[in-house]
Structure 1
Amino acid sequence: MLPLEGIKVIDFTTWVFAPAASAILGDWGADVIKIEDPTTGDPQRAIISVAGWDVPEVNFTWELYNRNKRGMAIDLRIKEGRDILYRLIEDADVFVSNLQSNALKKLFVDYDTLSKINPRLIYAHGTGYGNKGPEASRAGYDHAAFWARGGIMAKLGEPDSIPPKGLGAFGDSTGSIALAAGIVLALFGRGKSGTGQEVNVSLFGTALWCNSLTIAGAELMEEVAERESRKETRNPLYNSYECKNDKWLMVVCLQSDRYWSGFCKVLGLESLENDPRFENIFKRSENAKELIKILDKSFIKFDREELGRLFDENGVLWTPVQTPKEAANDPQAIANRFVVEVEHPSHGSYKSISSPVQFNKTPFAIRNIAPELGQHTEEILLEIGYTWDDITAFKEAKAII
């Protein structure tokens, strides 16, 4: 039995942030029912073409964030559509959305309305900038609220370079973990109190937490806020280096004195071990630019995998800097089922990514591929007590498709 089996989640979400959270709940066994507009659907269905990419056979973004869900198409702008939702809410455990607060109120699906129908309901809201303050209703996408506003974009890259554009859905995916965890914690709390509550997770707040070490340090030390070049980083043994064939390697020796001897031995730089310029962590920091120039010339002579093997033999901590494709085919990722093969009924086998929490007795599985628009509408309406005559009437009223 999966951990959330028996938990009913009503998913009124769009794009990635909140859909990814409910996908995690689905991975954990919840019955997730995704509500979409009958006319437009979730705009995330078309995100690949919006991004300007060539459309592949498998709509991988849609499948990734909407697996293990059933789908309904309901028009919540009309009374009949809202009545259907309200009946779903009567015995639901969770309602999750990332629509703006004013849009939720306009559709009469805000917290005050739904909690009156079901006081035990956990109402989870993913926002851009939080549910209080002058920008509570402001739209906030990943690149804006998380990457740019959260102080991450300004910190990355070489000091004189343009701030780099963020990775797609990086903040959304991070925020989704927090939102899913908040929902589960609220369910746990409901088991004690008997009542539900509202859970709010924002992209901005998530970014501040992810970037908390830098932000907290910047308040006390100005240099923490500044960009740091890899050519002048304070600890040359905590840095990236290029090897042969355009392959990069990251050395991660925070306690660099502990690793210095083995590091020099592997690179054939034993003469540097007791060099007064580099003999301890303070000297290496003081002369970092000079040392990194020496190391750059040394690393480029090595094959990355061979150098990594030598580092392993000498206890030096390192990791390859992998491309996304390399990461997807990493034997360690496959062994742990971080990356899994999915059989799509129309498009065959493709790789997908597991949600990050694993359970030894109830392993992760993609039980259902992402739904087509309104695929399970009739099935679910019958489950909650409506008749075929009711369904016909809903279609005539254009409440469903």
Structure 2
Amino acid sequence: MPDATAYPMGDEEAGQAPLAGVRIIEIGRFAAGPACATVLADWGADVIKVEPPGGDPARGPGSLERDGAPPVNPRFEVHNRSRRSVVLDLRIDRGRAALDRLLATADVFVTNLSPGALERLELDAATLRERHPRLIVAQISGYDLASPLAGRRSYDHGAYWSYSGAASLFAGPDGEPPQPAGGFGDRAAGSALAGAVAAALFARQRTGTGGHVTTSLAATGMWLMASDAGDLLNGGRAHRAGGRDTAPIPTVNCFRTADARWLWLQVMTPDRDWDRLLDALGAPWLDEDPRFRGGDPARLRANRTALLELLDELFRERPLAEWADRLGARRLVWAPVRGLEEAVADPEVRAGSAVVEFDDEFGVRHVSVNTPCLFDGATPRPPTRAPEAGEDTRAVLAAAGIGEAELAELTEAGAIDAGALDSGSTGPRGAL
């Protein structure tokens, strides 16, 4: 493993983080590859993002101007915080040579560039591992690298949402597929790849050699639908999302309350919880109906339309707060259906680990979504703001042994933007 002091982490806590001392070179676009690197950075890794001239195209849309400070793009921030940025033109031989100097100091190379682009830049796994046998190459593609579609480019709306079948499962009655949330599949694939990177680092401790770990947006989509896909693979049928009366377990369903709110009841084992559910509903008489007696799952499923009609009437009798008390007192599992606006404004969410807040060196407050895994009850590494494109070029290349004379040659060759060198930072941002 490279010397952890070569690129300081910028915070004391990082030394105790699980991936402290691990160096990541990330060449990503938009969300999937960068999302993986954010997870690894939160786990303590030192991440260096290598961007093309002009920066990652994801920087543009959605930026918010801040007085006296660089603009903040919340969507870019969540996928690119807690790292440094180097701008290199990899179309130029000298640019690729400088990148190779960085890769020689790295443990992991994370990318979601297309397989064709990686081959043209001589950054494919086979080529890299020939030059750097201990390097772990972590790659996200649109489609599986072993499939005939390996070379086809895609974003998550395509390979993850459309091609995998996810969109059709959530389509409306007319078959029109809905729009997914932004970066939905990207973050899922990035998180999966981060776990694979951790496993590959563990394996390298035993073998001394690197590896090639991959995932795809299409495979991630299939994994997230594994319950339904598994049924189909074994002769069953998929559960089509959408209609309440299609729920395999009718008591795992949403119901509207007297104050026009919705709650999601999660009685997964109605035969065990039937008496407590009827007590909460104030409807012991439901058990007198032979169609529902004992909460037998097969009976409930066979008569779910009639059951849902009766449950709808009962839930409309009381407001959400009252149902919260009644269901909670009987230890029944449920959750309110909330809008995203309500969820992000919830003080309990802000007090927990889902939202991360910090001030940067300009005094600008950053509020973002945290990565979901904790170590000993906390995120191991305090975050830092997303860097400006290329602002760490001089410091990072100098730490790799590229001095001023060579920086000048790289600039003259067009591999480095002189503006990035002139305006860049002289060291890493600290956690604030």
**1:224 match: secondary structure:** coil
Deviation at 1:133, TM superposition (A): 2.4
Is 1:180 the counterpart of 2:200 in the alignment?
no
The answer to which of 330-339 and 118-127 deviates more is 330-339
The answer to which of 229-238 and 61-70 deviates more is 229-238
Counterpart CA distance in 1 for 2:117 and 2:41 is 25
Q: What root-mean-square deviation, in Å, do the aligned CA atoms of Structure 1 and Structure 2 show? A: 2.1
Counterpart CA distance in 1 for 2:65 and 2:412 is 34
Indicate the residue corresponding to 1:125 in structure 2. 139
**1:216 match: secondary structure:** helix
The amino acid of 1:326's aligned partner reads E
- Which residue of the other structure, out of 341, 350, 358, is the alignment partner of 2:374? 358
The amino acid of 1:124's aligned partner reads A
The amino acid of 2:327's aligned partner reads F
Counterpart CA distance in 2 for 1:334 and 1:187 is 33
- Which residue of the other structure, out of 266, 277, 281, is the alignment partner of 2:280? 266
- Give yes or no for contact 1:13–1:97 (8 Å, CA) kept in 2: yes
Deviation at 1:226, TM superposition (A): 4.2
- Which residue of the other structure, out of 339, 342, 362, is the alignment partner of 1:323? 339
The amino acid of 1:17's aligned partner reads A
The answer to which of 163-172 and 343-352 deviates more is 343-352
The amino acid of 2:225's aligned partner reads N
- Give yes or no for contact 2:28–2:111 (8 Å, CA) kept in 1: yes
- Which residue of the other structure, out of 285, 292, 300, is the alignment partner of 2:316? 300
Deviation at 1:221, TM superposition (A): 4.5
Indicate the residue corresponding to 2:85 in structure 1. 71
- Which residue of the other structure, out of 19, 41, 62, is the alignment partner of 2:55? 41
C-alpha spacing 1:136/1:62, structure 2 compared with 1 (3 Å): same
Counterpart CA distance in 1 for 2:124 and 2:83 is 22
Deviation at 1:339, TM superposition (A): 1.4
**Number of residue pairs aligned between Structure 1 and Structure 2:** 396
Indicate the residue corresponding to 2:218 in structure 1. 204
Deviation at 1:228, TM superposition (A): 5.9
The amino acid of 2:312's aligned partner reads D
**1:87 match: secondary structure:** helix
- Give yes or no for contact 1:91–1:118 (8 Å, CA) kept in 2: no
- Which residue of the other structure, out of 243, 253, 256, is the alignment partner of 2:270? 256
Percent of pairs with identical residues: 34
Indicate the residue corresponding to 2:20 in structure 1. 5
Deviations 1:343-365 (A, max 9, x none): 24557324212111111186344
Deviation at 1:93, TM superposition (A): 0.6
The answer to which of 262-271 and 359-368 deviates more is 359-368
C-alpha spacing 1:225/1:304, structure 2 compared with 1 (3 Å): closer
Indicate the residue corresponding to 2:384 in structure 1. 368
Indicate the residue corresponding to 1:399 in structure 2. 415
Deviations 1:31-78 (A, max 9, x none): 11000001x3111112438xxxx9896311111011110000000000
Deviation at 1:241, TM superposition (A): 1.0
Counterpart CA distance in 2 for 1:129 and 1:338 is 30
C-alpha spacing 1:70/1:148, structure 2 compared with 1 (3 Å): same
Counterpart CA distance in 2 for 1:304 and 1:225 is 28
- Which residue of the other structure, out of 14, 34, 52, is the alignment partner of 1:19? 34
Indicate the residue corresponding to 1:105 in structure 2. 119
Counterpart CA distance in 2 for 1:232 and 1:311 is 24
**1:177 match: secondary structure:** helix
Deviation at 1:179, TM superposition (A): 0.5
Counterpart CA distance in 1 for 2:50 and 2:110 is 10
Deviations 1:226-279 (A, max 9, x none): 456203434221101122444211001110122222222222322213222221
- Which residue of the other structure, out of 261, 274, 286, is the alignment partner of 2:302? 286
Is 1:237 the counterpart of 2:251 in the alignment?
yes
The answer to which of 135-144 and 302-311 deviates more is 302-311
Counterpart CA distance in 1 for 2:366 and 2:284 is 48
Deviation at 1:141, TM superposition (A): 1.1
- Give yes or no for contact 1:67–1:366 (8 Å, CA) kept in 2: no
Deviation at 1:296, TM superposition (A): 1.7
Alignment TM-score, normalising by the size of structure 2 = 0.86
Counterpart CA distance in 2 for 1:226 and 1:326 is 28
**2:365 match: secondary structure:** strand
The amino acid of 2:404's aligned partner reads W
The answer to which of 388-397 and 29-38 deviates more is 388-397
- Which residue of the other structure, out of 230, 243, 247, is the alignment partner of 2:261? 247
